[in-house]
Amino acid sequence: MTLRAPLALALFLTGCTGLVDPLDSGAPADDAGVDAGPPIIVLPNFTLRSDGWPTGEPLLGAALLDGVLYAASPSGLHALPLTQTTWQPVATPDGGAPTSLQRLGTTLVATVGSGTGKGVWTKTVDTDWLELGTAPTAPAWALTRRGTEYLLATSKGLYAASDLTASFGRRTSATTAPFTGSVEALVAGVGQQRLFALADGGLFFSDTAGSTWAAGPVSGQVTTLTASGAYAFAALAADGGELRSDNYGATFKPMPTPVGAPVAALLFDQNRVWAGTNAGLVTSDDLGMTWAADTHGLPAGLAVRQVVVAGSLLVVDTPNGPYVTQFQ
């Protein structure tokens, strides 16, 4: 997967002054002769979208639905229609603070960690935000899909369900690490049996579908981890370097070529690895063997704190606010 310098659109993930994009915006095609309204703004390079974004707040997740880019920050949810340049506040479910946001199929899913709305909330094209009654009513930190089931990290432990509409059953109690506190990330790489969880800077893994957990296989404070297929990538805090696994996360070794700056975020998608560092964005197209700067409109030296695929968009979080571009 490569970023475009000319126009491009493609893929959602597992999902923001130009012409109407010919690819998926999430909206149905207009009938002939019907006014299509304002054109979608094409973003061939990274473009700052800070208008309306809460100053200084980090991006916790992003997803594209029906021609609108949705994003989460600690203060709530925000919406950016692809025809506009300013974020609009979205009524946060019951005033809760989101901890993650993603799109699963045709549904937006937000986990909420505080407030009366703590738990899981969903939204489709045809519905507003609705509380997911099948999930536990408890502070929720992260949700991921593993094969045919959904795993939810909460203050009460790890829960699992065969479908979002099915009842979530508890798989691991809150007295078992890493669920004794808030979980920063829950990673189930495509094609991988091993689960990973980041909590309090430590890395934990499970080979039993989340029933039992152990610390490792990486020691030290891990800032971020991404995985898919046979590969997994992790970064250590305080510029402790980056690690790579080519055996489904069983063991990790230092990357052959260091990224060159402390890494805050990693994203692995379609054989490309993105690394957000305190000095900018770098990418690898050879599974972490080599790295190259990938700016495409990002100011030189600007710290990148998060990298998210949102449908046909790539969104990076910076101290200046979110930058958005299209890719394929």
Q: How many C-alpha atoms does 323 have within 13 Å on its Cβ side?
A: 23
Reading the block at residue 65, the tokens are: 């639905």
pLDDT tens track for 149-200 = 999 999 999 999 999 989 999 999 999 999 999 999 999 987 778 999 999 8
Q: H/E element holding 229?
A: none
Q: How far is CA 127 from CA 108, 130, 163, in A?
A: 10, 8, 19
Name the pTM for this structure.
0.86
Instruction: Report the DSSP beta bridge partners of residue 97.
Output: 114
Beta bridge partners of 89: 78
Q: Indicate the CATH number for domain 91-206.
A: 2.130.10.10
CA dist., res. 144 & res. 153, Å (int): 9
Residue 198 has which token pair?
């980041």
Q: 203: helix, coil or strand?
A: strand
Structural domain boundaries of the chain?
A: 91-206
Once rounded to an integer, what is the mean pLDDT over residues 277-302? 92
Which of 146-150, 211-215, 258-262, 269-273 is modeled with the greatest confidence? 211-215
Secondary structure element (H or E) that encloses residue 251, with its range: none
Q: What phi and psi, each to the nearest 5 degrees, are found at residue 305?
A: -100, -20
